[in-house]
Chain A
Amino acid sequence: MGEVVLEVRELSTKYITRFREDVYAVDRVSLKVEEGKTLGIAGESGCGKSTLALSLMGYYFPPLHYTSGEIIIDGRDISRMKPDDVRKSILGSEIAYIPQSAMNALNPTQKIIRFVEDVFQAHDPYKSKPEIHEYAEEAFETLGLPASVLNKYPVELSGGMKQRTVIAVSVLLCPKALIADEPSSALDVTTQKMVIKMLKNLMENGFIKSMIFITHELPLLYNVADDIMVMYAGQIVEKGTAVEVVFDPLHPYAKGLMGSIIVPEEGLRDVKLTAIPGVPPNLKSPPAGCQFAERCKYVLPECRVMSIPLYDAGGGRAYRCILSEKVLREAYQHAG
């Protein structure tokens, strides 16, 4: 077992809307990321994946508010730090974040090198420009990007190239953890592969120690992540290694997600895609019992009243369902 890079204990955050309503977007989430590992987070739109990513950085600004829990990176609890301190001492140097539309972060009127200088000087104002240039060129070459990119304007680069440039810049300060939030969903399959290859290289070249990868594309997640967490309505509903979660899902929602996988392999055309009926609950007034009860095929009367804890199934496996492992597996087998 490697050293734990990032640990989160029972983190809860909420949005406060204009009308003073609370939206519980992240509900008591605990996770651990070990050195050299990639943690994948899956779930449909609006389940709180991206909010979790923002919350993990400890960088809260309205309407997002911190409620409870701890975020420990490098032995330090950053959950109660001031946003300004977080920006100066955590972002970039401890945790880096790549949002979905990262490529739009580049300033169209400046060359990439100016952006790199900004990043360095925000953390170390005394670093000289020639030093930065030399370091950046070397780092770009290592990551498989031509150093000539540094002297270009963002409009001269293609979408995939811009995305890779932003990723390269975000890891220049060698952060301990990288949070990648759908880094490839706006790209086509060929460019997506380049981006993924680069992210894998980051870890091998020692730029980052661990990664949290967020996406709704399960085949992609399966290929990138070591462990997968499935989120639903702000809660973790299933946790396990990639192989376990994809091939032997326990929670009915995770099972439903696996039914929507499309891969170009023989026999796919005979499989009927199963979609989960209904919509996720409104998080302004979450249901009393299990959040998934409304859409679940195996719902019991107790599900709607009792709040369900995350059961530990041993070996790092956990799931949030009232039914036992055995009953669930039998039910899935029965359903085909």
Chain B
Amino acid sequence: MPGEQNACLSGRDLTKIFGFGSTKTVAVDHVDFDFHEGEVISLVGESGSGKTTLAKMLLGLLNPTEGEIYFEGKLRDIRTQRKKREYWKDIQAIFQDPYCSYNIFRKIDTVLLDCIHMRGGRRLPQATKVEMMAEACSFVNLKWEELTNKYPFELSGGQMQRLMIARIFLLKPKILLADEPTSMIDACSRATILDMLMQLRDEVGMTVVFITHDIGLAYYVSDTVYIMEHGEFVETGCADEVILHPKEEYTKRLINDVPKIYEEWDLSTV
């Protein structure tokens, strides 16, 4: 059964098993999903529930043990390096740890130039390229003049994560996978990063897959929420429905675990 016609990314019976025999671990267990265009999707679950494994399979960094991934209605084909690069023009990611996401030997200029080249702007005049890079930087409240000729490690964590968003702004992919993009940075920068992601979604019209363990964050950003436990989706639906009226025990527990302000935080249920 192929994916739904209007879905931009679908999975059917997607499974990943690590190891074999008595030591095998089923990280993702026969999941089905349809991500639609312009939708913000959250994958929520505690550590070890298989969120990141699923994300890696979607990105093509891990091969699924079983099942198919459909991209824009067709079976995804990334068997050669060339096809893989082609696929990555349409799907990009932001990872948890900005400090590990950059090549420390390459300057910020190169990082951003690569994005322009990837979108076929290799022949553009230098002035246009600089203009594009400056525009991308100003989109994320960074100043191009302060960044040029610097290395990524000279920036703070929040700035690095914003630069990552500037990359996405240049690449304009169809799908963005954000794997815990705000868990390593503090609460004040978090608001900025989330706002930028949402703005990007509105401007470019891309699908954002948000992976997090903080259900409050998922509620704030997403349209659809997938709750994941031991590699399976236990509850799926629109954010308001799932988070305000949860049905599964596991979802209730996740919501209960987040510290709250207007309601009492029940510590006895650990």
Contacts and interface: CB of A to CB of B under 8 A. Distances in A.
Interface string B162-192: 0000000000000000000000011111111
Interface string B229-255: 000000000011001100000000111
A222 B216 contact: no
Given A264-B219, A273-B194, A219 B188 contact: no
A188 B189 CA distance: 19
Contact of A188 (B46, B156, B260): B46
B47 A269 contact: no
A261 interface: yes
A219 B261 contact: yes
Given A200-B267, A263-B262, A257 B187 contact: yes
Given A260-B190, A273-B194, A45 B156 contact: yes
A297 to B, nearest CB: 15
A275 B191 contact: yes
Contacts of A223: 259-260, 265
Contacts of B20: none
A246 interface: yes
Interface of B: 46-47, 141, 156-158, 185-192, 194-195, 213-220, 239-240, 243-244, 253-255, 257-263, 265, 267, 270
A193 B265 CA distance: 10
B1 to A, nearest CB: 34
Which residue, of B191, B257, B265, has the highest number of chain A Cβ atoms within 10 A?
B191
Interface string A236-267: 00000000001000000000110111111110
Interface in A192-237: 192-194, 196-197, 200, 216-220, 222-223
B261 A189 contact: no
Report the interface size class on chain A: 35 or more
Contacts of A191: 46-47
Interface pairs A-B: 3 shortest CB-CB: A273-B191, A275-B191, A188-B213
B187 A193 contact: no
B257 A262 contact: no
Contact of A45 (B185, B214, B218, B219): B185
A268 interface: yes
A255 to B, nearest CB: 12
A156 to B, nearest CB: 16
Nearest to B266: A193
A216 B188 contact: yes
Interface in A116-167: 159
A275 B267 CA distance: 30
B191 A260 contact: yes
A139 B154 CA distance: 45
Given A223-B265, A261-B261, A266 B189 contact: no
Given A196-B267, A216-B186, A223-B265, 16 more contacts: A44-B187, A45-B185, A188-B47, A189-B254, A193-B267, A197-B267, A216-B187, A223-B260, A260-B191, A265-B261, A268-B219, A269-B240, A273-B194, A273-B220, A275-B188, A276-B188
Contacts of B218: 264
19 contacts: A44-B186, A44-B187, A45-B158, A46-B156, A187-B47, A190-B253, A193-B270, A217-B187, A222-B259, A261-B187, A262-B220, A263-B216, A263-B261, A264-B258, A268-B216, A273-B191, A273-B194, A275-B188, A277-B141
A98 B263 CA distance: 29
Contacts of A275: 188-189, 191-192, 195
Contacts of B214: 189, 262
Contacts of A282: none
B254 A259 contact: no
Given A45-B158, A189-B215, A273-B194, A257 B259 contact: no
Contacts of B190: 260, 262
A274 interface: yes
A193 B259 CA distance: 8
B257 A193 contact: yes
A263 B156 contact: no
A14 to B, nearest CB: 21
Contacts of B188: 44, 216, 256-257, 260, 275-276
B213 A262 contact: no
Given A220-B259, A262-B214, A262-B216, A189 B46 contact: yes
A123 B257 CA distance: 38
B216 A217 contact: no
A263 B258 contact: yes
Interface string A175-196: 0000000000001111111101
A140 B246 CA distance: 36
B258 A189 contact: yes
Nearest to A258: B261
Contacts of A256: 188
Nearest to B47: A188
Interface in A82-103: none
